[in-house]
Amino acid sequence: MKKFIIFFMALSICALTARSKQAKNSNDPDKEEETMVKIILTKLDVNDTNLELGWKIKNNTDHDVWICDMVDVNIKLGFGFEMLLADDAETLVIRRRSCIKQDKELEMIREFPFIKSLYVRLRPGQEKADAISIDLPVRQISILKLIRANAEFAKRLVMEIGFYDEDLPGLILQIVEVNNKLNCDIHASLDDNGYEIRNRFFPGHFIARTYYNNIGFKESVASDDGEVRIPYMGQVLNGEQILRIEVNGLSIPLEEINIRPENHEVGKNK
């Protein structure tokens, strides 16, 4: 197999960055470029046995940001990524994001409270380097979305990492505080229609309920140790932005699968 070794100084790829808030009292357009949360691909190696990925994230803002560092049913297992072939059957999507609506078919076989996301704090000016090694052929791993496509090779790679461009623990505590001031009953019993309306129009109530009912979530928010462990709450915790890298012109072998809902299991790459 042809071997690709690509380092970030020589990459001819589309590496997109996610913008954060512009620095205060700055009218200089060059300053905006400096006040970004940026992701840079530092290594891409597709060889006979492994897909090697390396990247770094830098916080060029004047405030803390919170980077999604793992998404899994068990935060101690696996890579903490979803690895899915996109519907075009050509793009391998590797992502760490939590503010995603779970497919209804998966809701029937997977209880969402067991899915957790780990967010870590990145101080102003700090960099976070990371890397993964994935056995080839790549095994698709589903956590929140169904595997709907199959192919022998992926021609394109997309990496997505979620982040919050604000004080994430502070945001959660403010939501809980407002919910309490509004005197919303977090223990209210609702039928299916009631839950749908609540999650659609009163998401803060759902966040507060999860906060009080999940000890690990509550303790991590209050700990100030630079990590927040968030149970899966669908799309109610608004504000997650996406850091994204795209690489074209690849040939990444994929493991053949049977695309059936009962075969969508979460687990480690073999």
Residues 135 and 209 in one domain: no
Q: Cα(114)–Cα(209) distance, rounded to whole angstroms?
A: 16
Residues 210 and 111 in one domain: no
Residues 51 and 68 in one domain: yes
| CB burial of residue 144 (10 Å; 0-12, 13-18, 19+) | buried
The answer to whether 175 and 208 are in contact (CB under 8 A) is: yes
Residues 83 and 155 in one domain: yes
Residues 101 and 175 in one domain: no
The answer to whether 5 and 45 are in contact (CB under 8 A) is: yes
Residues 129 and 17 in one domain: yes
Residues 19 and 120 in one domain: yes
Residues 157 and 198 in one domain: no
Residues paired with residue 56 on neighbouring β-strands, in sequence order: 40, 129
Handedness of CA 157, 67, 167, 198 (dihedral sign): positive
Note the pLDDT of residue 16: 41
Residues 52 and 176 in one domain: no
CATH of the domain at 13: 2.60.40.10
Provide the domain limits for residue 35: 4-166+239-259
Note the pLDDT of residue 262: 46
Residues 220 and 255 in one domain: no
Q: Cα(246)–Cα(86) distance, rounded to whole angstroms?
A: 13
State the DSSP string of 36-74: EEEEEEEEEEE-SSEEEEEEEEEE-SSS-EEEEEEEESS
Residues 99 and 189 in one domain: no
- Rounded average pLDDT per 10-residue block, the chain, 270 residues: 43 40 40 73 96 97 96 68 93 91 60 79 97 94 83 97 97 93 75 72 86 92 94 88 97 82 42
Q: Global pTM?
A: 0.80
| Domains held by the chain: number | 2
Residues 154 and 64 in one domain: yes
